[in-house]
Structure 1
Amino acid sequence: MKKRLLTYLFAALFTPLALADIRIGVSIAQVDDVFLAQMRDYMAAHAKELPGVTLQFEDAQGDVVRQLNQVQNFTAQSMDAIIVNPVDTAATQKITNDAQKAGVPLVYVNRRPDQAELPTGVGYVGSDEIKAGEMQMRYLAEKMGGKGNLAIMLGLLSNNATHNRTQGVKEVLKSYPDIHVVEEQSAEWQRSKAMDLMNNWIVSGKKIDAVAANADEMAIGAAMAISQAGMHPGKDILVGGSDGGPAGLDAIKKDQLLVTVYQDNKGQAIGSIDLALKMIRKEPYTAQLTIPYQLITKANYQDFLNP
């Protein structure tokens, strides 16, 4: 299924009637993150299509306390709903409590809070991160011929996406006893830190046959370091990413990445706003919406261009 079908699906499921004077506060974990910046832009574009709906964006800048203050300000300003992309998925209970105490609908997007159950009045729109890791690793394992040394490049350790994508990778590895994890460190979702980390791994002299990165930005950084070391990503060292945004697609095209997994940040952006609107209007809604991941390789990357 192509990503356009997902967008149409959300449009069909969540087409709100005209609303007037609706204000929604949106706290994004870190706007200098490429994926999250795109998601914010998709939110803004969707809101422009909804008469009377206004979004107020705040950048938490990776700071849990800053994000909590932003949510408290939203409730003090009597926002009609709040959308939060959490900085730390293990530190969302106070956000949830504040929104519930104020009686304001709350939607978490992209990063699901760690608590097992979300209370009434709290929703979530995102994707099954474990599936992303499984799809990525299954493809890499096949291309590795079921054997070799694997390095896992982690995102922020405070993020459940990091934990779950890595869990997915390791679930697949249970079926491949001849693939050995020789490195596992965080590059915090950042391309520059991934370059430094990959370079350190190369300099250490430890043989690495493939890199499974939790996100495309880190995978691209790893591929750049491999190239700078005089090797060829995709041949000397296989590199897999996750997210499937424009940079990841370009890296697939250039053979920097062997595989990535498309996470529909446009679908998440639209879905989070439309879920918040249904909650505001007290209409029936599904509190947790899961958007499927899709595998991207050189064979099909063109299907994902120009969303």
Structure 2
Amino acid sequence: MPRTSRRNLLFGTAAVSAGALLTACTSNEPRNAAPGTDDAVGNAPADDKPGAPVTIGFAGPQADHGWLNAINENAKRRAEKYSEVTLEITEGSNDTAAQIGQIQTLINKKVDVLVILPADGKALTQVGLQAMKAGIPVINLDRVFASPQAYRCWIGGDNYGMGLNAGRYIGEQLKDKPGAKVVELAGLDNLELTKQRTQGFDDALKNYPNITKVARQAAEFTVESGQAKMAQLLQAQQRFDALWNHDDDQGVGALRAIQQAGRDDFLMVGGAGAKSAMDAIKAGDGVLKATVLYPPTMAASAIDLARALGQKKGVGGMSELEIPASITLYSAVVTKENVDEYLPTGFN
């Protein structure tokens, strides 16, 4: 998952998918999909009309996490919508050297456009530069390269915004409760994204002087770590009013620990937008009341952008002839009131 820069444009709102931001990469008349249909996952293609043939190389990390797997699936499904698009997809790897080799293979194949979600943005900057120098435009997906010269367009999520909106939601729920206490189950602390999510959360809570964050525990974005670290939090904190968990995958484990402890005296907010979390929110019979999106549909939008680049077209709905240099997606809060709108984008 991502490292996000605050300099990126905060672009649009999170509708049914990230693809909604691009409503028509090559057309001014977007096609809307009904919720629950195939097109609702990753939203409708930007333009059904076939254009010039485009070969898109897609290189992502190993899909060893629900969100990462959803990234790959969104890219594949979007490419299948376009008869003129050929998708050359790599196996995916969390090993930097292996992913560099995979991308160099795509460069040697002379694909028209590259979409890259780097395992490590800084470490893969040079191969991004290599592609750009070879005349292959790069869509840098989520984890940003160290140099803007390594990509033509960056599209990704807003980690600071995730924390900010989680904090605002919890703040509004607890604003009338004197001496309210909250705890935080973070992700990997050595990742910049985790620090950004925590910073956003802390900044939001500054607006609610009645609320104090009494504990924070870092997990590892896995079910097992979520369960273990949540159990520690529950043991250490006999009373609190809200929990923000950074990641819905580790949230599965956190919910197991909560159930085993027999606790239901607080509300929980998740992160990312897993289907399991949305199902629990819709059921409304547990502590999980909301999740803050980090939309994997950004991969579908990256394919739209790559297709537009390959066909030398801009983004419909915008006056400019070229696609933007960067797009930061909005971190919407999914609650019982709006879950049906977002449920089609939930990932396993």
**TM-score > 0.5, shorter chain as reference:** yes
CA distance in structure 2 between the partners assigned to 1:251 and 1:64 by the alignment: 36
Query: Residue 240 of structure 1 corresponds to which residue in structure 2?
Result: 269
Query: Residue 285 of structure 1 corresponds to which residue in structure 2?
Result: 323
**SS of the residue aligned with 1:242?**
strand
Q: Deviations over 1:151-194 (max 9, x none)?
A: 32222345443232222101112223453334333322222211
- The answer to whether residue 216 in structure 2 is matched with residue 184 in structure 1 is yes
List alignment gaps of at least 5 residues for structure 1.
Answer: none
Query: Residue 196 of structure 1 corresponds to which residue in structure 2?
Result: 228
Measure how far apart 1:44 and its partner are: 1.1
Q: Answer with 130-139 or 294-303: which moved more.
A: 294-303
Q: Report if aligned partners of 2:14, 2:20 keep a CA contact under 8 Å in 1.
A: no
Q: Deviations over 1:78-118 (max 9, x none)?
A: 222211122234434223222223322111223334x4x62
Measure how far apart 1:205 and its partner are: 5.2
CA distance in structure 1 between the partners assigned to 2:121 and 2:266 by the alignment: 32
CA distance in structure 2 between the partners assigned to 1:240 and 1:208 by the alignment: 14
Q: Which amino acid aligns with 2:247?
A: A
Query: Residue 84 of structure 2 corresponds to which residue in structure 1?
Result: 52
Query: Residue 16 of structure 2 corresponds to which residue in structure 1?
Result: 4
Alpha carbons of 1:65 and 1:204: their partners in 2 closer, same or farther (altered >3 Å)? farther
Alpha carbons of 1:141 and 1:33: their partners in 2 closer, same or farther (altered >3 Å)? same
Query: Residue 149 of structure 2 corresponds to which residue in structure 1?
Result: 119
Q: Report if aligned partners of 2:79, 2:86 keep a CA contact under 8 Å in 1.
A: yes
What's the Cα RMSD here? Answer: 2.7
CA distance in structure 1 between the partners assigned to 2:335 and 2:323 by the alignment: 35
Alpha carbons of 1:306 and 1:282: their partners in 2 closer, same or farther (altered >3 Å)? closer
Query: Residue 259 of structure 1 corresponds to which residue in structure 2?
Result: 290
After TM superposition, the score normalised by the length of structure 1 is 0.85
CA distance in structure 1 between the partners assigned to 2:295 and 2:100 by the alignment: 26
Query: Residue 222 of structure 1 corresponds to which residue in structure 2?
Result: 254
Measure how far apart 1:228 and its partner are: 0.9
Measure how far apart 1:37 and its partner are: 1.4
Q: Which amino acid aligns with 2:291?
A: T
- The answer to whether residue 25 in structure 2 is matched with residue 13 in structure 1 is yes
CA distance in structure 2 between the partners assigned to 1:156 and 1:89 by the alignment: 17
Matches within 5 A, 1:1-307: 3-4=15-16, 7-14=19-26, 15=46, 18-19=50-51, 21-113=53-145, 115=146, 118-119=148-149, 121-144=151-174, 145=177, 147-157=179-189, 159-204=191-236, 207-232=239-264, 236-254=265-283, 255-266=286-297, 268-283=298-313, 284-307=322-345
Q: Answer with 206-215 or 193-202: which moved more.
A: 206-215
Aligned length: 301
Higher share of residues assigned helix: 1
Measure how far apart 1:239 and its partner are: 1.5
Q: Answer with 87-96 or 38-47: which moved more.
A: 87-96
Q: Deviations over 1:5-58 (max 9, x none)?
A: 864552423446634553222122231211221232121111112123122223
CA distance in structure 1 between the partners assigned to 2:59 and 2:287 by the alignment: 33
CA distance in structure 2 between the partners assigned to 1:188 and 1:119 by the alignment: 32
Q: Report if aligned partners of 2:116, 2:139 keep a CA contact under 8 Å in 1.
A: yes
CA distance in structure 2 between the partners assigned to 1:287 and 1:227 by the alignment: 46
List alignment gaps of at least 5 residues for structure 2.
Answer: 1-12, 27-45, 314-321
Alpha carbons of 1:205 and 1:240: their partners in 2 closer, same or farther (altered >3 Å)? closer
Q: Report if aligned partners of 1:10, 1:270 keep a CA contact under 8 Å in 2.
A: no
CA distance in structure 2 between the partners assigned to 1:154 and 1:95 by the alignment: 31
After TM superposition, the score normalised by the length of structure 2 is 0.76
Q: Report if aligned partners of 1:30, 1:62 keep a CA contact under 8 Å in 2.
A: yes
**SS of the residue aligned with 1:292?**
coil
Measure how far apart 1:260 and its partner are: 1.0
Q: Report if aligned partners of 1:219, 1:240 keep a CA contact under 8 Å in 2.
A: no
Q: Which amino acid aligns with 1:291?
A: L
Query: Residue 33 of structure 2 corresponds to which residue in structure 1?
Result: none
**SS of the residue aligned with 1:137?**
helix
CA distance in structure 2 between the partners assigned to 1:286 and 1:169 by the alignment: 28
**SS of the residue aligned with 2:89?**
strand
Q: Deviations over 1:230-256 (max 9, x none)?
A: 212xxx232211222312201212434
Relative contact order: is structure 1 or structure 2 higher (C-alpha 8 Å, sep ≥ 6)? Answer: 2
Q: Answer with 176-185 or 26-35: which moved more.
A: 176-185
